[in-house]
Structure 1
C-alpha cells in the first residue's frame, strides 16, 4: 500500500513539474513573441523619426530589414510608401519604383504613388515609361491638386521624346488656363518646341508673348536670350524685330538692372522717331540713369521728352522725375520751384499729389514748418481722395509739434485719429498727444493717453507708452493707473484659454492624416493647400498642419505667410481679440536658432535682436533678393558680404554664398555687432543704420537732436528707415516676451 502511495506521489509530482515547465516555456514564448511585435513597432517609429530628420539612408536600412515582419496590411502599405519616398529623396530611382510598385492600388495614397513613379522614370531619362505613368495619373485623377503639374511634366517628357506636336497640344491647354500656375512656363516651353520643329517665326512670337506678360523675372530674361539666339542664327528667315518688340526686350534688361544693355536696346527704339513709342523708350533710358544715381544724365534724357515728345503719356512723369533728380543732387531750391511749377501747370496729373507731398516734406526737413503745413493742407483739400492724405494729416500735426504749437498739434492729432481710425499712424498720433501732455506737465492726462495705447496694443507705441509711464512713475511725478498693471504688461495680446489651441494637430481628412503619419511632408503640403483652398470648416487645423509640414520641408518664408493667415482666423481669438501664445510663435518663430545662437555668442550680441532683424529684413526667406540687390536672410549686399567675409577669413567667398543660411547669418551677425560697437549698443540706432547705412546714421546724429530718441526717429528724413526702426524694435520686444530663456547677452565677445 505504501509502495502504491509513493508511486502516485511520484507520478503527480512529475505531472506537476511538466505543467510548470510547459507553462514556463509558453510564458517565455509569449513574452518573446510580444517583445518581437513591440520591437517591430518601435523600430518602425524610429525609422519614421529618421525620415522626419531627413536621414533617409539609415531609415531605409531599418525599414527594409523590418518589412518581412510587418504583417498588418495598413502598416505594410505605409512602410512601402515610406520606403519609396525615402529612396526618391536620395535620388535612388530604381529602388523608389521597386517599392512604390509593391503598394496595392487600393492604398489611400495610390494617386501620389503613381505621380512619383512617373517622376522617378522621368528622372532616369526613361521617358517612355514616364509618359505611361503620367498619362495614367492624369486619366485617373482629373481633379487632383497636382494635375497641372503632371500635365506640364508630361509635356516635358514628350519634348525629350522628340514628340513636339504632342507637347504643344498639352502646352496649349496649360496656356489657356491662366490660373493653373503653369500657363507662362508652358508658353516658354512652346517656344522651344517651335524651335525644334524649325518654326522660327512662331518661336520668336511665342517668346515675345512670354516677355509681354511679365518682363521682370528670370523667365523673361531666358526668353530674351532665346530671341537673340534665334535672330543671330536665323536672320535670313525674315525674323524681324519690330520697335514694339525691341522696347519689350529693353524692358527685360531694365528690370534686370542691366542698365547699359537696356539703353542700347531702348536707344534703337528711339533712333530718329518722334512718336509715343520713342517717348516711352526715352523715359526708361532716363530712369536707368536715375537708378544708377547719374542724375545729370537722367535730367538730360527727361528734358528730351519735354523737347521732342510733348504729347507723350510720359511727359508729366518726366517733369516730376526731373525735380526728384535735383532733390537727390541737393539742389533743393531748384527742386522746389520745379515741383511748384508742375503742380500749377499739371494739377490734373496723377503725380500732382506726389509733387505736393514732396514739396511739403522737403520744407519739413528744411525746418520751414509753417510753409510745410500750408502745402500739406493744400494736398488734403485739393486731393482729398489721395492715398497720401492720412500721411499728410499726420505730418501737419508733427509740424505743429516742432513749432511748439502744442495745442494745435493735439487738435490736429486728435482729429486725425477720429478721421482715419484705421490708419497705420493712429498709435503714433496718440502717442505724441501723450508726449505733448508730458511737455505741458499735464501728467495725468499723459498717463490716460498712454493707458489707452496700452489697452489697444498699438504696435510699437504700446511698448513706448509703458516705458513712458515707468519713467514718470520712477520720477515720482505720477502714479500708475490701478486698472493697468504695467509691471506685467505684455506687448502681445495673448490668452491662456487652452481651448482655442486644442486639437490643433487633428485633421478630418484621412488622406492628410496618412501623409503626415508617413512623414511625406512634400505631398502633405500639396494636399493641405488644396484643403485650405476648398474652404473646409476646420481651417485652423489645416493651416497649422500645413505650417508644420512647410517647416519640415524648410519652407520657412511660406510657413511664416501661412502663420499670418492662421493668426487672423476669428476662431483662434477670444472675445478680447487675444490669441494663444502658440499662435504668436508661428508669426515670430525662432528659425535657424542654432546658427544664430552660435554666432551671436561668438560675437557678443543678443540672438533675439538678430532674429528680429531677420524677420523684418527677409521674413525668413533664404532666397530673398531686394530691388537694391541685398541677398538672403539678413539681406546682405554682395559688396558688404565680400568685405566682411574677408575680415572673417571665409575662404573662396562668392556672392551666391549669401543664400546659404550659415554664411549669411554669420556675416549679418558680425555686421550687427560692428554697428552695435559703432553706435554705443543702441538698438534703435543700429536698426536704422542697418537699413539706411551707417554713414547716413552718423550724418543724422550730427544734424538732429538726440536728447529725445522718439523725436530723433521721427526727424529721420527717410520714411523707410523710420518704419524699419520701429518694426525691428517692436519685433525685438515681442521676441523677448516669447523666448525669455534666450534673452541674455552672451558672455563671450569677439569685437570686430
Structure 2
C-alpha cells in the first residue's frame, strides 16, 4: 500500500538541554508541543551567545521585521550590522528595493566580513528597481573590489550576459561555483559535446538532477581522450549517484590505487556482474597484497565463489590481515557447515571466540548462541551469552539488542535488580537505539508503548540559533548562522575541495549545509555515515562530535513541521510518531519516488492516494506537495491504527508491508510479547522498518522533550 524508503526549527538537544530542566514533572501526554527554550544552548562563543539577532535569524521575515528594525538602531555593534543585513535581504525578498538600498547604504565599510555579499544584495536591489546602470556599476564594483571572494561569480554571471569574457573569467577562476556550473550548462546547449565544459560539470555539478546525462555525454564523446585523473573524477560522480556499474568501468581507467581497484571490483559485484567482479577482486589482491582494501576484497571474493574454492582465500585473509581474521574465520565456519564439516565448523567458531574475542564475528556467534538458548527456554544460558557479548563486543551493532534482552531474560529468571541494571546500561551506552526506548519503557518511563503512543502530544523545546560550523571559512560560518542557507551552500561548493575523502569536520559540515537547502536525503546520509569511520583518529573525532548537541540536531531535524502538526492533530496522531515515520519513508524529500512509484514525504502509492482522496472527498491534490502528501499519509496511518485497535507496532508494520501480511504474522506468532513479535517478523525490510520508525520516535523524544532529557541526564 505504502512503501518504505522547515519550518525554522533548530532544537536544543541532549545533555546541554537538561541543565534548564531540573524539576520538570508534568506528564508527557499533558504538554503542548514546541515551547521555546533558552537561546544560548547551541552557540559556541560568548559573543554569539549574547546576540539578539541570531535568535531571530531563522524566523520568517514578517515575524522578525519589527525586532530587526529596532536592533539596527541600538545594541552591540556586530548585532546592529547583522540586523541591517538581514533586514535588507528581507525587504528585498518582499520587493521593497528602496528600503533595502537604504538599509545597505555604507554597510560594507563596517561589516567587512560580508562586504561582497552586501554589494551582491545592493546590485539585486537596483535590478529590482529597474535601475540597470546602477546595477551594472555595482556588479562591476563587486567584481573589481573582491577578486578573492567566490561570490563574484554572481557578478561574472550577470555581467557575462552582455560581455562573454566575464563568463570565461568565472570558468577560469571559480569553476566550482554553482553559477559557473550554470554557465557551463548554458554554453553546452550551444555546443553539447564541448569536453572542457562537460568535465567542469562532471567535477562540480554532482548536485544536478540530470547530472548523469552529462557524464554519459562526456564518456560517449570523449572517452578515448580522457586522462586517468579525469576518469577518477567521473568515477566518483557515478559512485555518488549510485550508478555502480558505470562507476566500476570508470574506476578501472582511473589511476591504479588500491581504493580505485577495490571500487572497480565492488561496483561490478553490486551491478550483478559476478564473473567480472571475481576477476577484478583477484587483480586487486595481486597488485596490492598488503592493502586494507585487499582484506575486504578477499572476503568479497570468497562470497562469490563455491565453498571449496573460497576457503583458500579466507585462509589468506586469516593469515595476512589480523584485523579481519575473525570475520574470515567466521565465514570459513559457515562454508564448512555448508560442506557438511560440522565439527570443523564448530572448531572454527570456537577459535573466533578465543582468538578474536573482540571481533564482529565473535559478536555474531555469541548472539546466535544466545538466541538458540532462548528459543529452547534456557534463559540462564541465553543471559550469559548476551552478557558476554556486551562485555566483549560493546561497540558492535548487536550490543544494544543483546543488552536489552539480557534485561528481559533476567526478568524471566526473577532477577529484577539485574534486569534494571541491564536496561539502564542500554540507555547509558546506546541512548540513540531502538532498544533504549524499549529499555526506558521497562524502567517505567512515560515514553509510550506500542499500545499507548498514538495519542501522546509530547512537549518539545526548540531553538532558533545555530552553532558555528566545524569546517569552512569565517564567511561561510557567518552566512550559516544568519540563516542564509543558499548563499552558504553556494560558497561551500567552492570551499569543499576534498569530496572523495573528507575529514570528519568537513563531512559533518557538508551534511548540515545540505539540510539548510532541503537536500535532506544526502544530508542525513553524510551525517549518519560518519559512524563508518574506522581509522583510530577519525573514530575519536567522531566520538567527540557525537557528544555535541548539534550532531543529533542534524540527524533528527524537523522539516515541514506546520503540516505535520496540523494533520497529526486532525488525525489524533502523535506528531513525533508521524515525524519519525516520514524520516524513515522519505528522509523529508517531498518529490522522492520509489521504484514502484510510491511518492513524497509519506511514500503514498498513487492508487492508495486516489482511494484515500475518495474517502475524504478531496478533489484536487498532488502527492509531491508536502501538505497534500501528509494529509493523505496521516489518514492512512490513522486507518491502520484503527484496523489494529491503536496498536502502533501493528499499524506501522501494516503501513509498510500491508494488512494481509500483518494478519498472517498474528496468526502464526500471536501477540503475547510484542518484543518477541518484532523479532519474528519474517520480512527483514519490515522488521527493520518498524525498529527504525520507533528508534526515530525515541530520538525525537529523548533529544527534545524536557522530561525525558532530564531523565537521560540523571543516568
Q: Which ranges of structure 1 fall in alignment gaps of 5 or more residues? A: 1-44, 232-238, 267-279, 291-301, 318-337, 471-485, 491-500, 535-546, 566-576, 742-752
**1:488-503 superposed matches below 5 A:** none
State the partner residue of 1:689: 654
Higher-Rg member (1/2): 1
Deviation per residue, 1:154-194 (Å, 9 max, x gap): 3433542251x54234323334xxxx665xx7467446547
Give yes or no for contact 1:111–1:141 (8 Å, CA) kept in 2. Answer: yes
After superposition, residues 72-221 of structure 1 pair within 5 angstroms as: 84-91=88-95, 95=98, 98-99=101-102, 102-103=105-106, 105-108=108-111, 110-120=115-125, 132-141=137-146, 147-151=149-153, 153-161=154-162, 163=164, 165-175=165-175, 182=178, 186=180, 189-190=183-184, 192-193=186-187, 196=190, 203-204=194-195, 206-207=197-198, 210-211=201-202, 218-221=209-212
Deviation at 1:645? 3.7
Aligned ranges for residues 262-341 of structure 1 at < 5 Å? Answer: 306=275, 312-313=279-280
Task: Give the whole-Å Cα distance in 2 for the aligned partners of 1:130 and 1:375.
Answer: 79
1:675, distance to aligned residue in structure 2 (A):
1.6
Q: Which residue of 2 aligns with 1:425?
A: 398
> What is the Cα deviation at residue 89 of structure 1?
0.6
Separation in 1 of the partners of 2:243 and 2:479? 45
Aligned length: 552
Tell me the residue number matched to 2:438: 464
Do the aligned residues in 1 keep the contact of 2:349 with 2:365 (CA within 8 Å)? yes
1:665 matched to 2:630? The reply is: yes
SS in 1 for 2:646: coil
- Judge conservation of contact 1:339–1:359 (CA < 8 Å) in 2: no
SS of the residue 1:160 aligns to:
coil
Equivalent position to 1:344, from 308, 315, 325 = 308
Deviation readout 1:598-638 (Å, 9 max, x if unpaired): 32333333334223323444555556666876554434455
Classify 1:649/1:384 alpha carbon distance in 2 versus 1 (closer, same or farther; 3 Å).
farther
TM-score, length-normalised on structure 1? Answer: 0.54
Measured after TM superposition, the shift of residue 414 of structure 1 is: 2.0
Q: CA deviation at 1:672?
A: 0.9
With over 3 angstroms needed to count, the CA separation of the structure-2 counterparts of 1:104 and 1:740, relative to structure 1, is closer
Distance in 2 (alpha carbons) for counterparts of 1:372 and 1:676? 50
Instruction: Quickly say closer, same or farther: Cα 1:169–1:371, change in 2 above 3 A.
Output: farther
- 1:297-344 per-position Cα deviation (integer Å, ceiling 9, x unaligned): xxxxx5xx65xx697428999xxxxxxxxxxxxxxxxxxxx9796343
* 1:521 and 1:550 in contact (8 A); partners too: no
Report the equivalent of 1:29. none
Q: Does 1:700 align with 2:637?
A: no
- For residues 351 and 142 of structure 2, the distance between their equivalents in structure 1, rounded to whole angstroms, comes to 60
Contact 1:373/1:396 (<8 A) preserved: no
Matched residues in 2 for 1:452 and 1:412: separation?
16
Q: Structure 1, residues 343-364: CA drift from partner, whole Å, max 9, x if none?
A: 4323438999799879979x99
3-state SS of paired residue (1:664): helix
Judge conservation of contact 1:376–1:392 (CA < 8 Å) in 2: no
2:560, 2:351 → 1: CA distance? Answer: 46
Q: CA deviation at 1:680?
A: 2.9
Seen in structure 2, the aligned counterparts of structure 1 residues 692 and 72 have a Cα distance that, compared at 3 Å, is closer
Is 1:436 matched with 2:409?
yes
Residue 613 and residue 520 in structure 1: after superposition, are their counterparts in 2 closer, same or farther (change >3 A)? same
The separation in 2 between residues aligned to 1:666 and 1:377, in whole angstroms, is: 52
Match of 1:223 in 2: 214
Contact kept in structure 2, 1:357 and 1:392, CA below 8 Å:
no
Q: Structure 1 residues 85 and 209, CA, compared in 2 at 3 Å: closer, same or farther? A: closer
* C-alpha contact (below 8 Å) 1:356/1:376 kept by paired residues: yes
1:192-248: CA deviation from partner (whole Å, max 9, x where unpaired): 54765x6x65x14642674488889524235268769xx9xxxxxxx5776999999
Q: Equivalents in 2 of 1:126, 1:560: separation in Å?
A: 43
Give the match's secondary structure for 2:621: coil
The two structures have a TM-score, normalised by structure 2, of 0.56
Matches of 1:127 and 1:371 in 2, distance apart?
85
Indicate if the aligned counterparts of 1:641 and 1:667 stay in contact, CA closer than 8 A.
yes
Classify the secondary structure of the residue corresponding to 1:424.
coil
Q: Counterpart of 1:476?
A: none
- Please state how far the C-alpha of 1:429 moved relative to its aligned partner: 0.9
Say whether 1:415 aligns with 2:388. Answer: yes
Matched, 1:714 2:679: yes
Alignment CA distance shift 1:438-1:121 (3 Å): same
SS of the residue corresponding to residue 280 of structure 2 reads coil
**Conserved 8 A contact 1:215-1:251:** no
Question: Matched residues in 2 for 1:696 and 1:372: separation?
Answer: 40
1:402 aligned to 2:375? yes
2: CA distance, partners of 1:563 / 1:282 = 26
1:726 and 1:148, CA in 2 relative to 1: closer, same or farther beyond 3 A? same
Q: Distance in 2 between matches of 1:619 and 1:310?
A: 32
1:609 to 564, 570, 577: 577
SS at match of 1:680: coil
Partner deviation per Cα, 1:99-153 (whole Å, 9 max, x = no partner): 366446534264432021234567799988666534533554466xxx32432x2
Q: For each residue in 1:531-564, what CA deviation from the matched residue of structure 2 results, as whole angstroms up to 9, or x when unmatched?
A: xx99xxxxxxxxxxxx999999999999999999
1:508-532, Cα deviation, whole Å (9 max, x unpaired): x99999999xx964289849x99xx
- Asked if the contact 1:634/1:664 (under 8 Å) is kept, the reply is yes
Cα distance 1:156–1:666, how it changes in 2: closer, same or farther (>3 A)?
same
1:80–1:102 Cα contact (<8 Å) kept: no
Q: Deviations over 1:25-70 (max 9, x none)?
A: xxxxxxxxxxxxxxxxxxxx9xx999954349x969x98xx9xx98
- Single out whichever of 419-428 and 349-358 deviates more from structure 2: 349-358
TM superposition shift of 1:505: 9.1
- The DSSP-based 3-state class of the residue aligned with 1:429 is helix
Instruction: Return the alpha-carbon distance in structure 2 between the equivalents of residues 383 and 148 of structure 1.
Output: 52
Counterpart secondary structure, 1:710: helix
Helix, strand or coil: the match of 2:61? coil
How far has the Cα of 1:597 moved from its partner? Answer: 3.8
